[in-house]
Amino acid sequence: MPIPFRRLVQGIRRELWQRRRPHGLITWRYLLPGTDPRIRLHRYFWWHSGGRWPRAMWFVVESWLWLRWVFWYGWRASWRVVRRFGSEVRAEQGISLKRQAWITLRLALGYCVLPGDVYRFRLYRTPGSVLDYVYDHEASAYHTWRSAPLGLKPESLQCIQDKVTLAERLKAVDVPVVATRQIIAAGSALSLDAVLGNWTQAFCKTRSGNQGRGAFAVRRTDNGFVGQTFAGYELATTADTEAAWSALLALDDALIQPLLTNHPDLAPMAESGEAITVRYISEWQGGALGCLLATLEIPAGRGDSGRTRYESMSIDATVGRFLPLPAESRTSRQAQVQTERIWDRAPPSRTIQDWSVLADASHRAHSLFPDICAIAWDWIVTPEGPVLLEGNTGWGVATPQIINGAFLGEGGKL
């Protein structure tokens, strides 16, 4: 099957079957002629999440997803989330399970808010603030809306999506980027063994996209290859790693890059030895570049599904000193205990090494894109200094709002 046609089939399958919710909030309130600017914005985000889909087809797709969510997935997800977190919330805050369940179900079915977001943003305490937040399934439209006044150009988005093109532009302004040793064309029949040659370890990822789709680390042993996917699943045999390699080539061109290691001061904080990421979100603020948010993203073992769990810590962008998120931002006491355990292994200075280098380089990188409002730059601080992995214009909006407050609420980005 040719690659473009395969991608089309995969896209249709992903949107119509694998996806379990609409691409934004859907509520009957969109039909009202009210003047609440939050209602108008969420309606805008939803309607413009369709990209280049024909509007009639987009409406049909969203109607199908809404029906599946309301009549099947939404109430089931609500039940699972309340069952997981409800008892602890009742014990700590005195909110009955019945009330938690009612609010979660009402927001899930009445707005298409994910039940997990009800607990992430503590909406069971203040359900009236549901429209103050931007949710991850409408984040793409939100980012486009914020950049539109700056004259957003498709070429800029395409450049940041293409990791090779972006690296070439950033090297020209002295931004330290991760090296790409090889580029293997999508659909290639080359085996992983043939590509790696004498290398003992590497990181393989797609040329475009983000969120680690298809990416994996691989190491050579006496018995062949072993590895781990970006999501955290183990690749225990050579056959597993070759299968991951084939799946990667089915998605896009593949990049072969060195497997970076953490700075020794930060390394003890990651239980499994996986890379700790610094996310620096630069933003145009009144004609100058500033920092919207900086966080430390620390691998913290595996969740129930086997995927890697991450603990976030906020970073004071002026000096690079990091702190745990407030205890009330945690969805469970277990998560808070995990954070405390990681904090105990932090370096005494609680400061990111070469922070000024990282911050200045993030601003130099963003200066090349005056038409994009905010870009998330993902760094690894290695023993040799900070190394940029990639830029991301579709960054997740949950953590910034947990730390800084709701984007559309009072004092937000409305």
Which has the closest alpha carbon to 224: 209, 213, 239? 239
**Angle at alpha carbon of residue 210, lines to 225 and 375, rounded to 5°:** 140
Domains, the chain, ranges and CATH? 3-132 (no CATH), 146-176+262-404 (3.30.470.20), 182-257 (no CATH)
Q: Rounded CA gap, 256 and 343, in Å?
A: 33
CB 394 within 8 A of CB 367: no
CB 386 within 8 A of CB 358: yes
Q: In this structure, what is the dihedral angle of CA atoms 270, 272, 275, 278, given to the nearest 10 degrees?
A: -30
Would you tell me how many other CB atoms lie within 10 Å of the CB of residue 122? 16
- Prediction pTM value: 0.91
Which has the closest alpha carbon to 121: 134, 138, 137? 134
Provide the CB-side half-sphere exposure for 275 (13 A, CA). Answer: 25
In order along its 414 residues, the chain shows pLDDT tens digits of: 455 556 656 666 666 677 888 999 999 999 887 778 999 999 999 999 887 778 888 888 899 999 999 999 999 999 999 999 999 999 989 999 999 999 999 999 999 999 999 999 999 999 999 999 999 999 999 999 999 999 999 999 999 999 999 999 999 999 999 999 999 999 999 999 999 988 899 999 999 977 778 999 999 998 899 999 988 889 999 999 999 999 999 999 999 999 999 999 999 998 777 899 999 999 999 889 999 999 999 988 776 666 778 889 999 999 999 998 876 666 666 777 778 888 999 999 999 999 999 999 999 999 999 999 999 999 999 999 999 999 999 999 999 999 999 999 875 655
CB 227 within 8 A of CB 241: yes
Ordered strands of the 182-184 beta sheet: 182-184, 254-257, 201-206, 216-221, 224-229, 234-235
